[in-house]
A and B are shown apart, each in its own frame.
Chain A
């Protein structure tokens, strides 16, 4: 049969529908994110179908495997050269696969894995009715102090939903620093924020405080999101696109085509300035920079400590990544506008965090203000606007996140009858009672204080060096002064632990399972290795220090 004969059997009704091209998605390059999202979905299914008794094990297994696999994928991509030579924009312009993305994704995944260890810890709280319990509420929906809560505790319920929530948050954080258009940025922001709001409310002890923290975080976070979204709308009006590259072109004045519908507003600097300010504001809220820091102490204090540790580390990494990309890729053309503002923000963040921390009496609040001061130090590196600036910030974030998770993991160990003993006065004489735990915490505090031979010093030196080379010498001087102020309150805790007499009714140090030990051990190891021999990681960070546009 000839082809003509076949054709005679039917007629062509219209051109085949091929005008809408299927989006080209590079699944391989997006695999870290996809693995984590997939595992999170599996986690939800586990919640639905696996019997209650084995849920915990199934969830921990799925989460750990997913995070490891995703990390392996990141390493594979980096080894393949996606961090350097093959860096490009994937997923139709939505996601940038480049050095900073991969470096930060790797950091977030490792922080997530270590965070997972602290989430899964079930030996610290005394057993309730013969069941091992973790740091999370038995049943989130039950009213605190009610009969239903007691029934839930008695029945041995545990909120194993925290694991898929953790994975969703990690997935959002993976996308956040690699988002290459404003909409992806916003979606990622919400994807990681909403699970965090929920996780904050799930503390087993002090539930009201935990719920209060969650509500505060949610309300303020919602405001910040709204600002971001409004800023995105204004930027769209300015550039006629949400793509980073296009906005950057419009800012630089090298745009090729003008959208006729937006011809009136395109290139209107008022839209650019207000829009950019609002988007940056949203990101500064997430990193906890002054004056957008008000949520930090309350949320850090109220949230379950494992969540606090994870959030303090990973959110900061993700948000600084996004901020770097926004400022370096989208807005380098207007750095003369944003640099003075960021100078101001960095200065008040460093000084504000350090000064207010002095008056704190709760260890978690103290660490919260310390994290604010650290956000200020990192901002000093961001302001450098150089390749060194990027790599120093990347290095600082990696160093800082492991110290943070480790420090909060130590906080979970020090307990009395009411759960964790977070009031500073209860830490008096801890060095006498458990020298090892106190020594480990002292190492973390010294790293926070930036004492040489710890990762904190290497990181601080890197950002200050970049800032000084970028011409921000006054910023370095203020940074050094606030380091001195900050050192005071870190030292105060050490004094309390080692030189004060133990209280007769003081807290005891719980013996954790290998999970928390691993989290703390990783923290100490990273702190010392990055402090003594940081060269390899500095190389990694500096190779990863180039954004793709």
Chain B
């Protein structure tokens, strides 16, 4: 038996989480280093997966399959296609930066009980989330996926509720109340979504008798597994609801601004750049493959919702007074683009959506982490509390600008490529929707540049006059992300090469072909 590489990518952070949690209370720094090393080792494994993955080969590669709960028809089945590899790499890549950025975020203010170890807990939870996210990218068994899709809520919930920004404007009491409100809101939204999906998972089992993605998809394709139209639609809705909450899609998005606002910047990145990607990834992998007809049936509605997400998220981002909320609403707008790309049902759209997931992860991480550094210096999240930062901390302001420009999809930076692909992919099939979605970019320029202008330019506010510039650790976080943004902006081929074959497969699942270009069609 060959080395179970995919299992290892998930087990390593899981073991690391346990080990980190077990570090004694006094050895905080050791716990941090341990977590960082584990995340780097996981990144190495992810790179090995990427190298061993053959884009032209079988659909699912590096597969593993073991019996697990035969009574439920559940197998422990892992396998990656190009889309999963890209997201796996993104997750493994962002983790060291998240850990490094949150290096001092969870140091205890005062020593409470001897057994109270917030720092160890913080890093252990982050690694636990990594393990669960990775395994849900790899699972090709619906039940296995579901288990980790749900279970990752718990560490995430503790990360949001347990750790927040220091020096909250209204004092620790109010901050703690708001934090637990945000955490509970996050959990309830996602749990309700997950439980509705559970009903659909059970329903799928009663129809299919097993949970293997490949088997069900094959049985559906060759007609041995027939689903009544209404059954398929209900099951699709059950799955889609859970993923739309996670993604998040308007009108199920309201947990995200609260969660991102109250959590520390690294955790906010973890939510939006990593965990939420599971939602959009699952739409591609499960909704389209398992329920192709229902997906097509629901496409118009979903496209409209995605469009609303794009415009509504961007409009609300323009009006925000809180930096983190602004980034949250910008993310909602971006998730609208991703979902638009998935359900445009063109190969450019879906390639673009996958690429978008990767690029959005990197660009949001860059913007949000720099914003986090900014906020930790001033102790406030309000845009109005800043001004003229570029004069006192030019490097901070510069990196913030690059992160912001990436968010507004400036040509030359990575998100531009993906946004362009999504829009082109949408336009070829749904011109009107493509045109309206383009306004999202205009609004993105507005909210990003206004944010930069208000915080970084203008006269130096007294409170920020003594603000130190980025430290070595912070530079270490930001620089590689910016390099990646520029690299993938100029040369996205490494990612698209991996993604494109998988997208073709997905397109054939839903029996869709790209519309002929207008010129060719006219001939």
Real binding pair: yes
Query: Is B191 in contact with A498, judged by CB distance below 8 angstroms?
Result: no
List B160-215 residues whose CB lies under 8 Å from chain A: 161-162, 173, 176, 179-180, 183-184, 187-188, 191-192, 195-196, 198-199, 202-203, 205-206
A321 in contact (CB, < 8 A): no
A500, B162: Cα distance in complex, Å: 9
- Contact: A491 with B184, CB < 8 Å? yes
User: Which A481-537 residues have a C-beta within 8 angstroms of B?
Assistant: 481, 483-484, 487-488, 491-492, 495, 498-501, 533-535
From known contacts A434-B113, A476-B199, infer whether A484 and B191 are also in contact, taking CB-CB under 8 Å. Answer: yes
**Contacting B72 at CB < 8 Å: which of A435, A462, A484, A533?**
A462
User: What string of 1s and 0s marks CB contacts (under 8 Å) between A451-475 and chain B?
Assistant: 1110001100110110011000100
Q: Which of B117, B158, B179, B206 has the most CB of A within 10 A?
A: B206
Cβ-defined contact, A491 with B187, below 8 A: yes
A433 within 8 A of B: yes
Complex: how many Å from CA A476 to CA B183? 27
Residue B420 is within 8 A (CB to CB) of chain A in the complex: no
Q: Which residues of the partner chain A approach B154 to less than 8 Å between Cβ atoms?
A: 446, 451
A498 touches B162 (CB 8 A): yes
Interface check B33, CB cutoff 8 A = no
Contact size class for A? 35 or more
The answer to whether the Cβ of B112 comes within 8 Å of any Cβ in the partner chain is yes
The one of A446, A453, A538 that contacts B147, using a Cβ cutoff of 8 Å: A453
CB within 8 Å for A435 and B147 given contacts A465-B72, A488-B188, A498-B162: no
B53 interface residue (CB < 8 Å to A):
no
Kindly specify which of B63-71, B378-386, B465-473 makes contact with the partner chain. Answer: B63-71
Give residues of chain A (136-158) contacting chain B, Cβ–Cβ below 8 Å: none
A477 at the interface (CB under 8 A from B): yes
For the complex, is B491 an interface residue (Cβ under 8 Å from A)?
no
Which B residue's beta carbon lies closest to that of A433? B113
For window 57-105 of B, CB contacts with A under 8 Å fall at 67-72
The answer to whether B151 and A451 touch across the interface, beta carbons within 8 angstroms, is yes
- Is A491 in contact with B188, judged by CB distance below 8 angstroms? yes
CB contact under 8 A between A464 and B202, given known A434-B113, A495-B161: yes
Residue of A nearest to B158 (CB): A498
- CB contacts (< 8 Å) of A498 on chain B: these are 158, 161-162
* A534 contacts B202, C-beta separation under 8 Å: no
Question: Which A residue sits closest to B153, measured CB to CB?
Answer: A451
| A434 with B115: CB separation less than 8 A | yes
B199 near A469: Cβ-Cβ < 8 Å:
no
- Asked whether A263 is an interface residue with its Cβ less than 8 Å from the other chain, the reply is no
Task: Say whether A539 faces chain B, with CB atoms less than 8 Å apart.
Answer: yes
Question: Inside 8 A of B148's CB, which chain A residues have their CB?
Answer: 452
B146 within 8 A of A: yes
Q: CA of A432 to CA of B151 in the docked complex: distance in angstroms?
A: 23
In the complex, what's the smallest C-beta–C-beta distance from B210 to chain A, in angstroms? 12
**A480 CB within 8 Å of chain B:** yes
Chain A contacts for B206, CB-based, 8 A: 465, 468-469
In the complex, whether B116 has a CB less than 8 A from a CB of chain A is: yes
Interface of B is mostly: helix
Residues of B near A488 (CB, < 8 A) are 188
B276 within 8 A of A: no
Q: Which of the listed residues B112, B147, B176, B198 has the most CB atoms from chain A within 10 Å of its own CB?
A: B198
Q: Does A499 lie within 8 Å of B116, measured CB to CB?
A: no
State whether B188 touches A465 (Cβ < 8 A): no
A542 within 8 A of B: yes
Query: Chain A: residues with CB nearer than 8 A to chain B?
Result: 391, 432-436, 446, 451-453, 457-458, 461-462, 464-465, 468-469, 473, 476-477, 480-481, 483-484, 487-488, 491-492, 495, 498-501, 533-535, 538-539, 542
Q: Is B150 an interface residue when CB atoms closer than 8 A count as contact?
A: yes
**29 contacts across the A-B interface (CB closer than 8 A):** A435-B116, A436-B115, A451-B150, A451-B151, A451-B153, A451-B154, A452-B147, A458-B69, A461-B198, A461-B202, A462-B72, A464-B198, A465-B72, A476-B202, A480-B195, A480-B198, A481-B195, A483-B195, A483-B198, A484-B188, A487-B195, A491-B157, A495-B183, A499-B162, A499-B179, A500-B180, A501-B176, A534-B69, A539-B71
Given that A435-B115, A473-B203, A480-B199 are known contacts, is A495 also in contact with B188, CB under 8 Å in the complex? no
B205 touches A465 (CB 8 A): yes
Partner pick for A432 among B112, B196, B202, CB 8 A cutoff: B112
Q: Which 3 pairs between the two chains have the least Cβ-Cβ distance?
A: A452-B147, A499-B180, A538-B71
Contact (Cβ within 8 A) A535 B203 = no
In the bound assembly, the distance between CA atoms of A136 and B182 in angstroms comes to 43
CB distance from B345 to the nearest CB of A (A): 30
Using CB atoms, name the residue of chain B closest to A492: B184
Q: 1/0 contact trace for B128-160 toward A, CB 8 Å?
A: 000000000000000000111011011001100
Residues of B within 8 Å of A492, CB to CB, are 184
Task: Among A481, A499, A501, A535, find the residue whose CB has the most chain B CB atoms closer than 10 A.
Answer: A499
Give the distance to chain A from B439, nearest Cβ to Cβ, in Å.
36
What residues of A have a CB within 8 angstroms of the CB of B184 in the complex?
Answer: 491-492, 495
Within 8 A of A (CB), among B253-294: none
Which residues does chain B contribute within 8 Å of A535, judged by CB atoms?
A: 67-71
- Could you say which residues of chain B place their CB within 8 Å of the CB of A495? 161, 180, 183-184
> In whole angstroms, how far apart are the Cα atoms of A483 and B195 in the complex?
8
Q: Determine the chain A residues whose CB is within 8 A of the CB of B183 once the complex forms.
A: 495, 499
Assembled-state Cα–Cα distance A480/B195 (Å): 6
**In the bound complex, CA of A67 to CA of B85 (Å):** 54
Q: Besides the contacts A464-B202, A495-B184, A542-B71, what 17 more A-B pairs have beta carbons closer than 8 Å?
A: A433-B113, A451-B150, A453-B151, A457-B150, A461-B72, A468-B202, A468-B203, A480-B196, A480-B198, A481-B195, A483-B195, A499-B176, A500-B176, A534-B69, A535-B70, A538-B71, A538-B72
CB pair A432 B158 closer than 8 Å: no
Rounded to whole Å, the gap between the CB of A528 and the closest CB of chain B is 12
Chain B nearest Cβ from A203, distance in angstroms:
30
Q: Residue of A at shortest CB range from B67?
A: A535
- Do A452 and B150 have beta carbons less than 8 Å apart? yes
Question: Chain B nearest CB: distance from A527 CB in Å?
Answer: 14
For residues 17 through 61 of chain B, which have their beta carbon under 8 Å from a beta carbon of chain A? none
Are the C-beta atoms of B199 and A538 separated by less than 8 Å?
A: no
How distant is the Cα of A434 from the Cα of B150 in the complex, in angstroms? 27
Which residues of the partner chain A approach B150 to less than 8 Å between Cβ atoms?
451-452, 457
List residues of chain B with CB within 8 A of the CB of A483.
195, 198
Provided the pairs A434-B113, A487-B188, A542-B71 are in contact, do residues A452 and B151 lie with their beta carbons within 8 angstroms?
A: yes
In the complex, which residues 328-357 of chain B have their Cβ closer than 8 Å to any Cβ of chain A? none
Bound Cα distance from A464 to B202, whole angstroms? 7
Instruction: Tell me how far the C-beta of B392 lies from the nearest C-beta in chain A, rounded to whole angstroms.
Output: 36
User: Least Cβ distance of B289 to chain A in Å?
Assistant: 22
**Beta-carbon nearest neighbor of B205 in chain A:** A465
Contacts A435-B116, A452-B146 given; indicate if A538 touches B69 (C-beta within 8 A): yes
Q: Would A484 and B195 count as touching, CB distance under 8 A?
A: yes
**How many angstroms from the CA of A465 to the CA of B201 in the assembled complex?**
9
Pick the most buried of B71, B115, B184: most chain A CB atoms within 10 A of its CB. B71
Which chain A residue has the least Cβ–Cβ distance from B193? A484
A116 to B70, CA, bound (A): 35
